[in-house]
Structure 1
């Protein structure tokens, strides 16, 4: 993963709050993926303006924690592998 790249949702995927499930989901033409709270918090920041360091810094500040970089990078890599998000150089 290019850690300087910014992350954004791919054109075929969309993050959305689903009232019925009371959770965030990723919608795509073939279906839907339900997200847990940490995954949703990370993916909400994938708006095309933030790289890995910016996402980590924002989450660490919001949740008053440290040492989450590897977890965030792992989730972003999984989202990239699944095609949910894309890396913008």
Structure 2
């Protein structure tokens, strides 16, 4: 069972943050004021689901369907929480 605060949260990018795909690197990026963050592996997919309409549970469920057998239920919520603490998600 997941914590209620995490379950109810519907993450979305903070207003000053943009997500873009860099074709030269074939990687997703977060464009922050005066900084660029390269999202490696499935991080771009996870962040792409953070549109403010899906709860963390919804994101985990969708990723579990896309990546069967991957530890999304244990890895994704702490990843999203780290991004929130950085101020990149609201």
State TM-score, norm by structure 1: 0.88
| Within-5 A mapping of 1:70-85 | 70-85=74-89
CA RMSD of aligned residues (A): 1.4
Which structure features the higher share of strand residues? 1
Q: How many residues align?
A: 86
Distance in structure 2 (CA, Å) of the matches to 1:64 and 1:73: 17
State TM-score, norm by structure 2: 0.87
Which structure features the higher share of helix residues? 2
Q: Which runs of 5+ in 1 are unaligned?
A: none
The match for 1:57 is: 61
Q: Which runs of 5+ in 2 are unaligned?
A: none
Q: Which has the higher contact order (CA 8 A, sep 6+)?
A: 1
